[in-house]
Structure 1
Amino acid sequence: MSADASAAAAVPAPKVNPNAPTEETVLSVEHYTDRLFRFRITRPQSFRFRTGEFVMIGLPKEDGKPLLRAYSIASPAWDEELEFYSIKVPDGPLTSRLQSIQPGDKVLLGKKPTGTLVLDALTPGKRLYMFSTGTGFAPFASLIRDPETYERYNEVIVTHTCRDVAELTYSRNLVNDLVNDPLVGEMVEGKLRLYASTTREPYACMGRITTLIETGKLFADLGVPPLNPETDRAMICGSMEMIQDVKALMIAAGLTEGSNAAPAEFVIEKAFAG
């Protein structure tokens, strides 16, 4: 063996971090408003997650280090691709760059999905509420496309509150298209209901979801009884303020907060993108 070969053999191979993000390819991008867009990326064969969970998504920084933020996975666990629904923050370290991605570009995908907005974190019930504002609809976009959701509940009610009508496009299109979905199309009929409202632009239903719950308008419009811990289960996702306010209303109605370790009547999400 030559001296050069001997020296090369003595150099240890660089360590590979098993938890390092994978580099995935952007497959499609759709912009809804100047504040909201969705994108789909490739899914590694080894990537496993439970419907409703979130994962770290990001881009490499100029110094080569990854810049990652938590994003709810908007596609169901059975999908061969991964979908994400994102807000655009002009001065956001990540979203200011992420909003410019195009098909063919690369994004970073974390390896450890987690979260509490999963069916197993709730005890059995008859009616499932999914309360969301803005991009907080993302985990519910995953859950309403999963057959197990309809196998567990007789009725699934998703609420989506945004400032303007255009910001409701993603949820409205998704729910409308589900009747044609080959996997859950027949299951959603008569079970899934979308209750959308706005807080600024005039719309058929206006008001913050907290107000709609407190006044009873939500239940009157839907023709269902008030929240009942014996029959109703709930998931909450939105801004931190919205989550805390709706959580307080759930507790006032007698529902108990659950988790993966201790399932109960309602769960909240705390992952945010920025």
Structure 2
Amino acid sequence: MADDTARYTLETITDWRAWTPKLFSFRTTRPAGFCFKAGQFVRLGVTKADGGEVWRPYSMVSAPQHDYLEFYSIVVPGGEFTTALAQLGVGDAVRVNRLALGFLTLDRFADGRELWLLSTGTGLAPFVSMLYEADTWRRFEKLVVVHCVREAAELAYRDLIPTLAAEAGVPELADRLVYVPVVTREAVPGVLGQRVTALIANGELERRVGFAFDLERSRVMICGNPDMVDDTRAVLGERGFALSRRAVPGQLAVEQYW
């Protein structure tokens, strides 16, 4: 259903999944004519208890070719947006801005052979969207998906990720995926247990995947907790990795929502 405003449309929630008491995913109808690149985000709006509106940026989990939009969220204690959002369900409405934003997209990189997708928490969302795309699988020889969470129950999409080559229509390229779950607050057999920055600094992440970060071969995307993004940039910066800009190609891409 559409609102008569020029800035957004009013979309209906069609599916809701609770991963944990604090983590959930939901799907909405897709606005007519809404376009985006895998990795981008859109601003969502909800109505607060006092009747006012509140807006927040959310990366799409769904792919550009899907006829729905999917989002992945955490309930922020005391957060005015997620408190209102978490009270919604199937059949309720959310506002979806008409314009997709963001530069965490693969066209940031001119080349590269290994794509590292480093995420914490709900920062995984844009990377799932990218893995729905056949071109992502064709372009890189290895796709390393690192998802760092506190508890194993928070490893959302862990069952979906290994199927995404088939979902993208390139099942023959499935062996290009290296999925690395990381759990920091509980011991899980066979799963790494330190923060991403520590795993890079001590070389454990590279040992686990079987190859190293390399300035010529590696392209790295980072999404998640702002402190993690900054710290990971700093650790890789010590190895010579730099942000990729339109005029100056580099090896790193991050998302800035604000």
Query: Normalising TM by the smaller chain, what interval?
Result: over 0.9
RMSD value over aligned CA atoms? 1.7
* Shift of residue 265, structure 1, vs aligned partner: 1.1
* Shift of residue 192, structure 1, vs aligned partner: 1.3
- Distance in 1 (CA, whole Å) between partners of 2:30 and 2:228 is 31
Contact 1:228 1:254 in 2 (8 A): no
**TM-superposition CA deviations, 1:86-120 (whole Å, max 9, x none):** 00123110101111221111001011111121001
Structure 1 or 2, whichever has the larger Rg, is: 1
Higher relative contact order, chain-length normalized (CA < 8 Å, sep 6+) = 1
- Distance in 2 (CA, whole Å) between partners of 1:264 and 1:79 is 31
Aligned to 2:184: 199
Which of 254, 265, 268 aligns to 2:240? It is 254
The alignment partner of 2:62 has SS state of coil
Which of 140, 146, 155 aligns to 2:127? It is 140
Contact 1:43 1:82 in 2 (8 A): yes
Structure 2 vs 1, CA of residues 152 and 270 (structure 1 numbering), >3 Å: closer, same or farther?
same
Contact 1:116 1:260 in 2 (8 A): no
The alignment partner of 1:229 has SS state of coil
The alignment partner of 2:234 has SS state of helix
- Distance in 2 (CA, whole Å) between partners of 1:99 and 1:62 is 12
**TM-superposition CA deviations, 1:37-69 (whole Å, max 9, x none):** 000000012100011001101213456543110
- Distance in 2 (CA, whole Å) between partners of 1:222 and 1:236 is 17
Aligned to 1:6: none
- Sequence identity (%): 35
Contact 1:55 1:70 in 2 (8 A): yes
Aligned to 2:83: 96
Contact 1:122 1:265 in 2 (8 A): yes
Contact 1:88 1:96 in 2 (8 A): yes
Contact 1:117 1:267 in 2 (8 A): yes
- Distance in 2 (CA, whole Å) between partners of 1:251 and 1:159 is 19
Which stretches in structure 2 are left out of the alignment for 5+ residues? none
Counterpart code for 1:106:
A
Aligned to 1:265: 251
Contact 1:132 1:161 in 2 (8 A): yes
Matched, 1:171 2:161: no
